[in-house]
Amino acid sequence: MVRGRGCFQIRQMRTIVKISPAPLPAQDLYKLLTGIVVPRPIAWVTSRSDKGVVNLAPFSCFTFVSSKPPMIGINVGRRLGERKDTAVNIERAKEFVVNIGDETMIEDIHRTGIAHPPHVSEVEVLGLEVAECDYVKVPRLAATPISLECRLHQSLSFGETGSQFIVGEVVLFHIRDGLSQNCKIDTAKLRPVCRIGGPNYASLGEIVSMQHVGDVRTGPG
Ligand SMILES: Cc1cc2nc3c(=O)[nH]c(=O)nc-3n(C[C@H](O)[C@H](O)[C@H](O)COP(=O)(O)O)c2cc1C
């Protein structure tokens, strides 16, 4: 029994499974991590090859790392030890676009996770419309509510599998009219796609609003 706030609570005994990562293969650790770090947003990344082929692929290992200058990061793993087209293109051209799809686009997002050779454009395979960007030569997806024009800031390699954490500085935000006010995005209107473990997705559930606390104005970075 433990003393809570002015009352006694019964502390329930829970069985905990402890997992030591060292003996586990990368595949199992990947499963664990992608089931634990949920829900994840999806960066739907357009990049351009040296032959001018527009590549499109989803990356749910995605976050922002700095607010001023704005920087985002995606983690690109390897396929059978080889770098994925997105990583190759970004490191060569030093620019890319992160498009943010909404829940009506889940099927297309999922389909662009299929591996195609570098000369095949996923944008053409799916018949998706693209639009020119202002600062980078890579096009953005015309239909997505948000696109971020990015310049490569840094690419770091992590772990035994050679995952690359690619950080890009956002040089221009494209935001669909009516989706933001005073730089505040209306998340309910955005209807973002959430990735959970395996080939599973979720849409936004109930939004619970709380009072502001602490240093919410500056945040990280
Ligand atoms: C929703 C979704 C999220 C994904 N997230 C990642 C990720 O964070 N990192 C990664 O390396 N691959 C991820 N993948 C797999 C890549 O999208 C896939 O390997 C793709 O073929 C890479 O394309 P590319 O070779 O054209 O770059 C994801 C796939 C899906 C469907």
DSSP conformation letters of the chain? -EE-SSSEEPPPP-------STTS-HHHHHHHHHHHS-SB--EEEEEE-TT-PEEEEEE-SEEEEETTTTEEEEEE-EETTEEPHHHHHHHHHSEEEEEE-BGGGHHHHHHTTS---TTS-HHHHTT--EE--SSSSSPEESSSSEEEEEEEEEEEEETTTTEEEEEEEEEEEEE-TTSEETTEE-HHHH-BEEE-STT-EEE----------SSTTT---
Q: Quickly state the pLDDT bin for 13 (edges 50, 70, 90).
A: confident
User: Considering the domain boundaries, does residue 92 fall inside one?
Assistant: yes
Measured by CA distance, the residue closest to atom 18 of ligand 1 is 113
Residue 163 lies in a domain: yes
Residue from 42, 78, 84 whose mutation best tests the ligand 1 pocket (most atoms within 8 A of CB)? 84
Q: Is residue 13 part of a domain?
A: no
pLDDT of residue 2: 45
Report the number of distinct structural domains present in the chain: 1
164 lines ligand 1 (CB under 6 A): no
Question: Ligand 1 centre and the CA of 37: distance in Å?
Answer: 16
151 part of a folded domain: yes
Residue 209 resides in a domain: no
In a domain, 5, yes or no: no
Question: Averaged over 196-213, what is the pLDDT?
Answer: 93
What is the pLDDT, as a whole number, of residue 7? 46
Query: Ligand 1, residues 54, 59, 61, 128: which to mutate, most atoms within 8 A of Cβ?
Result: 59
Cα 198 to ligand 1 centre (Å): 12
Residue 10 confidence (pLDDT)? 57
* pTM greater than the 0.75 cutoff: yes
Domain CATH number, residue 164: 2.30.110.10
Query: In terms of residue numbers, what domain contains 170?
Result: 39-203
Give the pLDDT band of residue 4 (cuts 50, 70, 90).
very low
Question: Cβ(46) to ligand 1 under 6 A?
Answer: no
How far is the centre of ligand 1, averaged over its atoms, from the C-alpha of 82 (Å)? Answer: 13
Residue 29 lies in a domain: no
Residue 6 lies in a domain: no
> Taking 60 as the threshold, does the pLDDT of residue 1 lie above it?
no
